[in-house]
Chains A and B, each alone.
Chain A
Amino acid sequence: QVQLQESGPGLVKPSGTLSLTCTVSGGSMNGYYWSWIRQPPGKGLEWIGYIYYSGSTNYNPSLKSRVTISVDTSKNQISLKLSSVTAADTAVYYCARGSGWYYYWGQGTLVTVSS
């Protein structure tokens, strides 16, 4: 059974960089796309972007200038970096397998942007 687990700091200062890692277990990363999706508290879902296991990426234009998604198949991990964060970036961040529809999700991790 494929499992995904997000990890990283739960608190980031304004103007700083949010950095999260998603560790994949129970299956290979090869041949799959891996995505990040976020959800502000009490609000809806926003697609951040995806990366193919080989490294090609596709980002949401609304975040493109600030976001970097990377993959390390040797560690079975994908990473998310979001720079110049503001309070509007406070959200639960999910990683998921796939580039379109998402069957496998992580449990999500709450990141709060605050000084």
Chain B
Amino acid sequence: NAGVMQNPRHLVRRRGQEARLRCSPMKGHSHVYWYRQLPEEGLKFMVYLQKENIIDESGMPKERFSAEFPKEGPSILRIQQVVRGDSAAYFCASSPGQVSEAFFGQGTRLTVV
């Protein structure tokens, strides 16, 4: 059973471009969480999704950021018109249910130049 897979591991974008980060949860997991981490800081919650539904997006900026978890395929975190301040590591975690252990992927490191 493969772990949580995130790709790409590293992503470089110029200011104004779009960034698409993918997260394939562990097999059998229908809950996905996205977190953002700046260097030397802790993980900050962004959004919680179940299949086809956004449950909690209270940690996600209102503009330029969106997330989805379609019925088929990976969860996508999309950042439009990236700015330098978006540079960070983005981690996703998955769990089989609400009251369950969460397992993390290796993260995508986004660098905006």
- To the question of whether A and B form a pair in one complex, the answer is no
